[in-house]
């Protein structure tokens, strides 16, 4: 496969198939297709066999992994084409805006997968900590699963946007009184924050058997009070992307529920400016690079 219209290079790629190898059965030239964080795994380890390619010990990442076939490393979507085994190519629902589809194959699956794993369905109370690239997808999925969605943010000025994205309530996490109102009430909290933060304040909001899943990765270890877990038998866990089958399931779900990421489309010429803005969290909520702009170089 080769993409001619990849959006959000790196590891969130969407485009059209230009050529297929003779053994390819699932794709034809012209098909819409996406490639996420992974381009190869051994296919034989217990994780691969169980559909968890993301945990394969011999995984090749789409970006900055050792390239087994060419010298150097993989460059992902920072390229005008990419060749990928069809096992790692995903079908894209035709009703969705392509620029908004690209982030689904990383930010989307990263937030969809733990909610499926922890059984988020209608009537559950779900929190989403942080409203960025991951968080805004978390809100959309939790809403689509029928949950009551509460966004936790340090920025009161994100309230309006959180509600627009589908949140039922917004809590400013620095307001201890607002936090306390929700003590012991959440089934599940998706924590997307990669800055240092007090995890016990969120653990205490969980009901019996409630879970917090980390998808952001703070550099400093989180300080976890044992009693925050022992009371109400709570759990803290982590999750990374998802396997290929689940990623396809997520894309199909997005097609059915008309879900895409909110993106700002930029030409490749603005990539450095976009990077500077990213560092300041100044994006709603992902940049998508239109690779057609490469041709104007």
- By beta-carbon proximity to its own copies, the closer residue of 143 and 197 is 197
Q: Per rule CB under 8 A, is residue 153 in the interface with its own copies?
A: no
Nearest of 285, 256, 36 to residue 144 by alpha carbon: 256
Q: Rg for the chain (alpha carbons), in Å?
A: 20
| Two tokens, residue 96 | 């969705």
- By beta-carbon proximity to its own copies, the closer residue of 70 and 226 is 226
Nearest of 39, 9, 29, 21 to residue 247 by alpha carbon: 39
61's enclosing H/E stretch is strand 60-61
- By beta-carbon proximity to its own copies, the closer residue of 39 and 206 is 206
Q: Per rule CB under 8 A, is residue 223 in the interface with its own copies?
A: yes
Q: Per rule CB under 8 A, is residue 192 in the interface with its own copies?
A: no
CB 205 within 8 A of CB 198: no
Q: Per rule CB under 8 A, is residue 236 in the interface with its own copies?
A: yes
Strands 186-191 and 125-129: parallel
Q: Per rule CB under 8 A, is residue 185 in the interface with its own copies?
A: no
Q: In this chain, which stretch among 87-95, 131-139, 209-217, 244-252 interacts with its own copies, using CB under 8 A?
A: 209-217
Q: Per rule CB under 8 A, is residue 228 in the interface with its own copies?
A: yes
Q: Per rule CB under 8 A, is residue 119 in the interface with its own copies?
A: no
The structure tokens 């794993």 sit at 117
CA distance 169 to 149: 7
Q: Per rule CB under 8 A, is residue 41 in the interface with its own copies?
A: no
Q: Can you tell me whether residue 256 is helix, strand or coil?
A: helix
95-114 footprint of its own copies as x/- string (CB under 8 A): -------------------x
| Two tokens, residue 94 | 């035709």
Cα separations (Å) of 98 from 8, 101, 165, 221? Answer: 10, 5, 19, 37
Q: In this chain, which stretch among 121-129, 229-237, 247-255, 282-290 interacts with its own copies, using CB under 8 A?
A: 229-237
CB 104 within 8 A of CB 255: no
Q: Per rule CB under 8 A, is residue 215 in the interface with its own copies?
A: yes
CB 133, min distance to its own copies, A: 16
- By beta-carbon proximity to its own copies, the closer residue of 156 and 184 is 184
CA distance 253 to 249: 6
- By beta-carbon proximity to its own copies, the closer residue of 2 and 211 is 211
Q: Per rule CB under 8 A, is residue 37 in the interface with its own copies?
A: no
Q: Per rule CB under 8 A, is residue 239 in the interface with its own copies?
A: yes
CA distance 6 to 254: 19
Q: In this chain, which stretch among 20-28, 173-181, 236-244, 251-259 interacts with its own copies, using CB under 8 A?
A: 236-244
CB 186, min distance to its own copies, A: 14
| Two tokens, residue 128 | 């989403």
Among 232, 270, 277, 284, binds its own copies (CB under 8 A): 232
Site residues, its own copies (CB under 8 A): 47, 50, 52, 55, 114, 117, 200, 208, 211, 214-218, 221-240
């Amino acid at each position: 496969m080769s993409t001619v219209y990849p959006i959000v290079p790196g590891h969130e790629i969407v485009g059209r198939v230009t050529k297929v190898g003779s053994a390819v059965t699932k794709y034809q030239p012209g098909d819409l297709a996406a490639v996420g964080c992974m381009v190869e795994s051994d296919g034989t380890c217990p994780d691969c066999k169980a559909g968890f390619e993301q945990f394969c010990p011999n995984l090749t990442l789409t970006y900055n992994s050792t390239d087994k076939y060419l010298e150097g490393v993989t460059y992902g979507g920072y390229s005008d084409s990419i060749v990928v085994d069809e096992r790692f190519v995903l079908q894209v629902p035709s009703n969705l805006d392509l620029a908004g589809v690209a982030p689904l194959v990383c930010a989307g699956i990263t937030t969809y997968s733990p909610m499926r794993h922890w059984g988020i369905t209608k009537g559950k109370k779900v929190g989403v900590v942080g409203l960025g690239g991951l968080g805004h997808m978390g809100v959309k999925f939790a809403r689509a699963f029928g949950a009551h969605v509460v966004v936790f943010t340090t920025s009161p000025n994100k309230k309006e946007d959180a509600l627009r994205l589908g949140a039922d309530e917004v809590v400013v996490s620095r307001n201890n009184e607002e936090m306390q109102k929700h003590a012991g009430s959440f089934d599940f909290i998706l924590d997307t924050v990669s800055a240092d933060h007090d995890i016990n304040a969120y653990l205490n909001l969980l009901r019996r058997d409630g879970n917090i899943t980390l998808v952001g990765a703070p550099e400093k270890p989180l300080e976890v009070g044992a009693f925050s877990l022992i009371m109400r038998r709570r759990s803290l866990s982590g999750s990374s992307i998802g396997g290929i089958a689940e990623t396809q399931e997520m894309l199909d779900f997005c097609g059915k529920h008309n879900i895409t990421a909110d993106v700002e489309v930029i030409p490749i010429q603005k990539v450095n400016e976009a990077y500077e803005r990213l560092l300041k969290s100044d994006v709603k909520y992902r940049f998508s690079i239109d690779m057609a702009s490469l041709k104007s170089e």
